[in-house]
Amino acid sequence: MDHKKSARPDDSRRASDERTPKGAAPASRKQRKKAEDIREERKKTPEQIRSGKASEQARGEKASEQARGGKTPEPVHVAKETVPAAKERDPVPAAHENKNKNVHDVLPESDAGTLEERLHEIEPQLGGYLINEGTLEILPDGYGFLRSANYHYSASPDDIYVSPSQIKRFALKQGDSVIGVIRPPKIGERYFALLRVDGVNGRIPRDMDSRKDFDELLPVYPDSRYVLEYKASEYTTRLIDLFTPIGKGQRGVIVAQPKTGKTTILRNIANAVSANYPKTKIIILLVDERPEEVTEMERNVVDAEVLASTFDQKPENHIGLAEIVFEKAKRMVESGHDVLVLMDSITRLARAYNICSNTGRTMSGGVDAEALKKPRKLFSSARNIENGGSLTIVATALVDTGSRMDDVIFEEFKGTGNMELVLDRRISERRIFPSIDVFRSGTRREDLLVDEAEREKVVLLRRYLTTMTTQEAMEFLLDKIKGTRNNKEFLISMNQ
C-alpha cells in the first residue's frame, strides 16, 4: 500500500524511541503512550523497580483477600536482593557525584592571606578532588594545558585542561605557574580538568590583579650581588666572585671551548645560589645536550628545576622548551620573584632556530638572516627590575669548534651580555680546573656590586697577575686560595 500521507509536523510529541520511519504512517496515540511508558521504565533505578513490584504484589494480595471473604494470608517474606555498594557500581571518583554542584559549594575557598596557608586549609577538605600545579601553555584555540616539569613541559597524559573562561577571568598568560583544585577525567575524557585557581606564580589570585606586563617593567643595572662563596673547598665559585661577580639581573655569557668544564661551572653556580639564596627560583635549561649530562645535572643540583631537550629530539622541541621556560621566568619576575636561568647552550639553541627558519637569505657561515632574532630576544630578557624582581641569565656560548656557524653565532651575542666568563682550553689540557682566563673575564659596572675596599684589592691582584701567562695565573690563584677559608681572608693574605 502506498502511504502518501506525510508525517506530523510536531516532532516534539513523537517518542524518540518510536520514531516513524520514512514513508511509514504516523504513530497512533496508543503507540505513543506505550513508547512513553517504556521510556519511563528505562529511567527507573533497580530500587524503584523492586519497590514497584512489591506494590503490585501487595495490591494483588489485597484483591485475593477480598475475594476470599476478608481472610488475611500469611505474610510472604521476600529475600532482599543485595545491592552493590556505590564504589562497586560506579568506579567514577566521588567528585563526579557532585557534578550538579559548584566546586565552591563542596570545597569552600579559603580566606588565607598567603598561598601556603590557603593550601594548608584546603587539603584536609579535598575529598574526591585533587590539588596539582603546572606551567600554562595556551593554544591558538583559546584553551590551555598545565604542562608538567616531569615531562619537560611537553604534552603528556598528566596534562591539566584549562578552559578559556578561566584564562580570561584570572588574566592568565603563557608560562604562568598555576596551582588549583582539579578533577580526574570523566568517561570519554582524556585529561584532568582545572576546577578552581588557588594560586598563580606562588601568590593568591587577588594579589595578581596589579601585575604589569614584563615589557612595561623598568630595567636598571644589577645592583644587588649573588655571593657564590658557600664552601671553602669550592674554588670555582670563589674565583667567580672575585673576577666576574654576578648580580641579580645579570646577562652573562660563559665563552667556552670544547672540554673546558662549562657544564660543571653551571652546576656549581646553581648549588651556590641555592645554598645562599633559597628564595631564588633556579631553572637549568639544557638544549641539544647528551642524555647522560641531563641525568648527572639532575642528580647533582639542589633545589633547581632541570629541563632538557636532548640531541635526539627535533629542533622544534628545543625551541618549544626554550620559549616556554623563558615565558615562565618572565611571569615569575612580573610577580616580584628573583629568577636565575642557567642555559647550556645559547649556540645550540641558535642552531635549532636556524634549521627552522626558511627565509631563503643566508649570511656568512650558513646562518639564516632571521634565525638569530628570536634567541637574541630571549637572551635580552635578562634584567634587574627597579623596585621589583630580577631575571638573571647565564648562558654558555661555544667557540673554536671548527664550525664557522658557531663563530658567527658567538659574535652576534658577544656584545649583548654585561658579564663574560672566558674558559681557556690550554688551561684545561693541563688538567687545571676551573680553566678561567682571568685576563679576558669581567663584569660591566662591577662597582655597583662590589664594595670599594674589595674592588681595590682585586684591581691590585689583577695588576700583579699581568706578569704571568693565563696558565701560570690560574695555578698561582689556586695555590694561594687553597690555604684560606674565604675570599676575605685570601685578599688580606695577598696584600701582605
Q: Which residue has the higher pLDDT, 84 or 306?
A: 306
Task: Name the percent of the chain lying above pLDDT 90.
Answer: 57
Identify whether residues 177 and 298 lie together within a single domain: no
Q: Which residue has the cell 672566558?
A: 422
Confidence of residue 198 (pLDDT cuts 50, 70, 90): confident
Identify whether residues 308 and 438 lie together within a single domain: yes
Q: Is residue 268 part of a domain?
A: yes
Please check the confidence at residue 90 and state whether its pLDDT lies above 50.
Answer: no
Q: What pLDDT does 209 receive?
A: 79
Q: What pLDDT does 57 receive?
A: 58
Return the SS3 of 307.
strand
For 282-304, what is each residue's pLDDT tens digit? 999 999 999 999 999 999 998 99
- Interacting residues of 227 by C-beta distance below 8 A, sequence separation 6+: 241, 276
Q: Is residue 451 part of a domain?
A: yes
Q: Which amino acid is at 328?
A: K
Is residue 170 within 8 A of residue 208, CB to CB? The reply is yes
| R_g over Cα of the chain | 35
CATH of the domain at 139: 2.40.50.140
Q: Which residue has the higher pLDDT, 24 or 140?
A: 140
Identify whether residues 301 and 398 lie together within a single domain: yes
Q: Is residue 272 part of a domain?
A: yes
Identify whether residues 251 and 206 lie together within a single domain: no
Q: Is residue 69 part of a domain?
A: no
Identify whether residues 181 and 277 lie together within a single domain: no
Q: What pLDDT does 33 receive?
A: 63
E strands, 50-157, in order = 130-138, 144-147
- Interacting residues of 322 by C-beta distance below 8 A, sequence separation 6+: 285, 287, 309, 343, 349, 375, 378
Q: What pLDDT does 104 receive?
A: 56
Please check the confidence at residue 202 and state whether its pLDDT lies above 50.
Answer: yes
Identify whether residues 245 and 127 lie together within a single domain: no
Tell me which of 172, 191, 211 is where a domain ends: 211
Q: Which residue has the higher pLDDT, 362 or 296?
A: 296
Average pLDDT, the chain: 82
Tell me which of 184, 211, 238 is where a domain ends: 211
Confidence of residue 438 (pLDDT cuts 50, 70, 90): very high
Identify whether residues 322 and 184 lie together within a single domain: no
- Interacting residues of 141 by C-beta distance below 8 A, sequence separation 6+: none
Q: What pLDDT does 44 receive?
A: 57
The residues pairing with 417 across neighbouring beta strands, listed in sequence order, are: none
* Mean pLDDT value of segment 28-33: 59
Please check the confidence at residue 359 and state whether its pLDDT lies above 90.
Answer: no
DSSP string, 222-264: --SEE-----TT-HHHHHHHHHS-EETT-EEEEEE-TTS-HHH
How far is it, in rounded angstroms, from Cα 44 to Cα 27? Answer: 25
CATH of the domain at 328: 3.40.50.300
Q: Which of 193-197, 209-213, 269-273, 429-433 shows the lowest mean pLDDT across its residues?
A: 209-213
Q: What pLDDT does 77 receive?
A: 46
Give the closest residue to 158 by CA, choosing from 119, 123, 185, 197: 185
pTM tops 0.85, yes or no = no
Q: What pLDDT does 8 receive?
A: 44
Q: Is residue 433 part of a domain?
A: yes
Count, in order, helices (H) and strands (E) of the chain: 17, 16
DSSP string, 17-80: GGPPPTTSPPPPHHHHHHHHHHHHHHH--HHHHHHHHHHHHHHHHHHHHHHTTSPPPPPP-PPP
Torsion of CA 316, 319, 320, 326, to 10 degrees: 180
C-alpha 71: how far from its chain's center? 78
Domain housing 356:
219-494
For the chain, what is the domain count?
2
Identify whether residues 311 and 371 lie together within a single domain: yes
* HSE (side-chain half, CA atoms, 13 Å) at 256: 25
Q: Which residue has the higher pLDDT, 450 or 62?
A: 450
Q: What pLDDT does 256 receive?
A: 93
Identify whether residues 290 and 170 lie together within a single domain: no
Q: What pLDDT does 62 receive?
A: 54
Q: Is residue 24 part of a domain?
A: no
Q: Is residue 489 part of a domain?
A: yes
For 386-433, what is each residue's pLDDT tens digit? 988 999 999 999 999 888 999 889 988 888 899 999 999 999 999 999
Q: Which of 57-71, 331-345, 425-439 shows the lowest mean pLDDT across its residues?
A: 57-71
Confidence of residue 161 (pLDDT cuts 50, 70, 90): very high
Q: Which residue has the higher pLDDT, 102 or 100?
A: 102
Is residue 257 within 8 A of residue 424, CB to CB? The reply is yes
Confidence of residue 123 (pLDDT cuts 50, 70, 90): confident
Identify whether residues 194 and 286 lie together within a single domain: no
For 158, which DSSP code?
Answer: T
Q: Is residue 90 part of a domain?
A: no
Is residue 79 within 8 A of residue 50, CB to CB? The reply is no
Buried b vs exposed e over 225-240: b needs ≥16 C-beta within 10 Å?
bbebbbeeeebbbbbb
For 253-279, what is each residue's pLDDT tens digit? 999 999 899 999 999 999 999 999 999
How far is it, in rounded angstroms, from Cα 118 to Cα 115? Answer: 5
Tell me which of 181, 211, 241 is where a domain ends: 211
Please check the confidence at residue 374 and state whether its pLDDT lies above 80.
Answer: yes
Identify whether residues 173 and 285 lie together within a single domain: no
Q: What pLDDT does 19 receive?
A: 44
Q: Which of 41-45, 88-92, 302-306 shows the lowest mean pLDDT across its residues?
A: 88-92
Q: What pLDDT does 116 receive?
A: 75
Return the SS3 of 332.
helix
Q: What pLDDT does 65 receive?
A: 53
Confidence of residue 43 (pLDDT cuts 50, 70, 90): low
Please check the confidence at residue 175 and state whether its pLDDT lies above 60.
Answer: yes
Is residue 339 within 8 A of residue 329, CB to CB? The reply is yes
Q: Which residue has the higher pLDDT, 358 or 45?
A: 358
Identify whether residues 334 and 446 lie together within a single domain: yes
How far is it, in rounded angstroms, from Cα 479 to Cα 470? Answer: 14
